[in-house]
Amino acid sequence: MVRSIEVDLKDAQHVKKELLEKQEINLEYRPIKENGKIYFPVTESYSGETTEKDLQESIRPKVLSFKEALEPILTPQELEIVKTAYDVAGNIAIIEVPLELQSKEKGIGEALLSTNPLIKTVLRKDSGHDGVFRTQDMKYLAGEETKVATYKENNCTLTFNVEEVYFSVRLSTERKRISDQVQEGENILVMFSGAAPYPCVLAKNTLAEHIVGVEINPQGHEFGLLNVKKNKLQNVELHCGDVREVVPTISWTYDRIIMPLPKTAEEFLDVALPVANKGCTIHLYGFYHEEEFDKAVAEIDKYCKAANRNYEIKEIVKCGQQSPRTYRICVDFVVN
Ligand SMILES: C[S@@+](CC[C@H](N)C(=O)[O-])C[C@H]1O[C@@H](n2cnc3c(N)ncnc32)[C@H](O)[C@@H]1O
């Protein structure tokens, strides 16, 4: 018996695409149709509700894993150091290639293309997240030559250039976590809004009244406007500029403020607090070693005291890992 999910036939295409994107479809078996339903076999990492299905009749000829597809082109020593984990944004896969293997990087890109029909382009990370815009250089390796990805998350379609704009598909669960907290009628400020994933996800999935996003990177802002339009969202207002200059000029005050700039977000608490309504929830992101989460709280304490605001820490959530024992955390706190 194989772990599977039952899906209405009309939803088959988009469910299959989502499972492939999240690498949650078990490619060892073909899906089967029964009584107007289709059953997709899923991997262990799938966390939703599943049912057990007998799929013995639909075992596929074996699909090569990325590592297996690399065996013909890399030596055993090279196979030891190659990185087989990768991110997928829509049809674009983004891989890391160690310096020692860069002479073979085109072949590595081709090998990845051959393992997943949804991957049409392979790019290689060519830098860390740099500069004020937190963007990352990308080198084209294989497939269709593009750096513009269109991908789906949390009922939204989001388009962005993976090199010109910061974007992390890994934060989709975190966006869902915030979206689940939003109450009807809230006014929300998303500082550092990038290509507007938070504004779009919140507008699409909640009954928030109004959502303001502010982004300093003009290209990020342009993709944000495109995403708001594509998702037909009426209650999102995006501004291009530095939050320090722009936020004080907007007449709204907020019930929730999201601050997703993990390197330096706390330095903008003096901009956030004056526009936070009584009872406003602030989501402040930061990178902290697991033994130093209290440093984030100390920053909040410092800025709230300076602004003469009381605060209550609600939760500290790990929402990503930067390096061993150092996490991307979100501190959720309420200001009065
Ligand atoms: C880590 S990214 C997050 C982007 C987006 N919220 C997301 O989750 O994909 C931080 C963003 O903040 C923007 N940024 C940095 N400093 C800023 C500032 N002073 N005012 C407005 N945006 C800023 C960067 O250009 C970048 O797009």
Residues 120 and 223 both lie in one domain: no
The pair phi, psi for residue 129, each rounded to 5°, is: -80, 110
Residues 183 and 272 both lie in one domain: yes
Task: Specify whether the CB–CB gap between 216 and 132 falls below 8 A.
Answer: yes
Residues 126 and 224 both lie in one domain: no
Distance between CA 277 and CA 299 in Å, rounded? 20
Task: Specify whether the CB–CB gap between 155 and 205 falls below 8 A.
Answer: yes
- Check residue 334 and give its pLDDT: 98
Kindly list the protein residues whose Cβ atom lies closer than 6 A to any atom of ligand 1. 132-134, 166-168, 171, 192-194, 197-198, 214-217, 220, 242-244, 260-261
Distance between CA 166 and CA 129 in Å, rounded? 8
Task: Specify whether the CB–CB gap between 275 and 257 falls below 8 A.
Answer: yes
Any idea what DSSP says for residue 60?
P
Q: Residue 29 maps to which CATH number?
A: 3.30.70.2580
Which residue owns the Cα nearest ligand 1 atom 16? 132
Mutating to test ligand 1, I would choose from 192, 271, 329 the residue with most ligand atoms within 8 A of its C-beta, which is 192
**Does residue 312 lie within any of the structural domains?**
yes
Residues 20 and 112 both lie in one domain: no
- Check residue 86 and give its pLDDT: 94
61 SS3 class: coil
Which pLDDT tens digit goes with each residue over 250-295?
999 999 999 999 989 999 999 999 999 999 999 999 999 999 999 9
Cβ count near 183 (within 10 Å)? 11
Range of the domain at 9: 2-58
Residues 40 and 107 both lie in one domain: no
Between the alpha carbon of residue 120 and those of residues 148, 153, 160, the distances in Å are 12, 19, 16
Strand partners, 151: 158
Q: Using the atom order of ligand 1, give the atom closest to the CA of residue 242.
A: 20
User: How many residues are present in the chain?
Assistant: 336
**Does residue 264 lie within any of the structural domains?**
yes
Amino acid letter, 191? M
**Does residue 287 lie within any of the structural domains?**
yes
Residues 49 and 190 both lie in one domain: no
- Check residue 17 and give its pLDDT: 87
Q: Which of 277, 208, 275, 274 is nearest to 236 (CA)?
A: 208
Q: Residue 112 maps to which CATH number?
A: 3.30.300.110
Which pLDDT tens digit goes with each residue over 116-161?
888 999 999 998 888 999 999 999 999 999 999 999 999 999 999 9
Residues 70 and 118 both lie in one domain: yes
**Does residue 47 lie within any of the structural domains?**
yes
Residues 188 and 48 both lie in one domain: no
Q: State the burial class of residue 51 (Cβ atoms within 10 Å of its Cβ: 0-12, 13-18, 19+).
A: exposed
Residues 100 and 142 both lie in one domain: yes
Residues 22 and 103 both lie in one domain: no
Amino acid letter, 179? S
**Does residue 153 lie within any of the structural domains?**
no
Distance between CA 28 and CA 283 in Å, rounded? 41
Domain total in the chain: 3
Residues 249 and 286 both lie in one domain: yes
